[in-house]
Amino acid sequence: MTWLLTGGAGYIGSHIVLAFRAAGKEVVVLDDLSTGYREFVPDDVPFVEGSVTDPQAVARALDDHGVTGIVHLAGWKYAGVSVERPLHFYRQNVTGMQVLLEAVVERGLDRFVFSSSSSVYGTPAVEVVPEDAEVGRPESPYGESKLISEWLLRDVAAVHPELRHTSLRYFNVVGSGAPHLADHSPYNLFPRVLKALTSGERPQVFGTDYPTRDGTCIRDYVHVADLADAHVVAAGRLDDGLPCQTAYNVGRGEGVTVLEILDAMRASTGIDFEPDLQPRRPGDPSRIIGSAERIAQDFGWTAERGLHEMVKSAWTAWQHQVATHGGPPRS
């Protein structure tokens, strides 16, 4: 049995590659390297360079490697950017899902794990949001594209019941499971702070007037290695014919503010600094914390790594990349 990991050369995808291989699962990676890095994929892992929006690239990845299941991570994130570029996000995320599902149906594949997002909830009306909370009011085109993709998967499976599937709704993914796999996104909090600190600049904080305990956004942070393990469990259940519900939150079930993250950064890096306080960015909800009860009950999965390990591992990986590349590696 072989799993296709779309977007497997990205920060999250590369960790899932390592986790699948550690679990003895064969994988092949499809990635167009628009945001991923070729060197993040081990040399002995089959790699197809191409986009999920390209039917021919998808066909090559599926047919040349005997794929039996798919973990679909490829797509664009960054809620704030999606407000400025909605058409790009809909093409990459929604059209990409459509093309992939067309190939899945044509081949009769029956296992599918979708990389979704807590953005589908928008700003929840409850302190800790469960999977059955109301969706349909995302704050950004990015969140909308993830929700539409979930609906596409659901609707296709309704007419092709052999397609067993689940969507994993990520909360804020941080940290590193290996020194050579650092998050380099220019939009994510951890790499933005670490880049500023290594450049002698003040880290920016967007929004200090949210209705939270210190005025900054609250997020549910989860270590990327814990997230990768959740994918292994989901794929294993589908391989074994065990049931999965349509959606699972993947987080710790507790929230941390941006300023609390910066306090942890000071402690782990030993660098003292004062943040550069900026206005809010469009598309950023004030608070998102996810209930982790469903995934714990069904999968027996819980996030094991705390905030200290998240920050420490991210700092170690960032230093490694600066030392070896002078910055992010080239694709």
pLDDT of residue 203: 95
Q: How many whole angstroms separate alpha carbon 203 and alpha carbon 194?
A: 8
Element containing residue 82 per DSSP (H, E): helix 79-84
Q: Which residue positions in the chain have pLDDT lower than 50?
A: 331
pLDDT of residue 95: 97
Domain positions in the chain: 2-173+221-250, 175-219+254-288+305-325
Residue-wise pLDDT for 262-309, tens only, equals 999 999 999 999 999 999 988 778 889 999 999 999 999 999 999 999
CB 231 within 8 A of CB 71: yes
Pairing of strands 111-117, 204-206: unpaired
Q: How many whole angstroms separate alpha carbon 188 and alpha carbon 284?
A: 12
pTM of the predicted protein model: 0.94
Say whether domain 2-173+221-250 belongs to CATH 3.40.50.720. yes
pLDDT of residue 328: 63
Residue-wise pLDDT for 42-67, tens only, equals 999 999 999 999 999 999 999 999 99
Enumerate residues 6+ apart whose C-beta is below 8 A from 29: 4, 5, 6, 8, 9, 13, 17, 41, 45, 46, 47, 48
Helix (H, G, I), strand (E, B) or coil at 60: helix
Please confirm, yes or no, whether 78 is among the known catalytic residues: no
pLDDT of residue 331: 44
Q: Which CATH number does 175-219+254-288+305-325 carry?
A: 3.90.25.10
CA 294 to chain centre: 19
Catalytic residue among 11, 121, 142, 221: 142
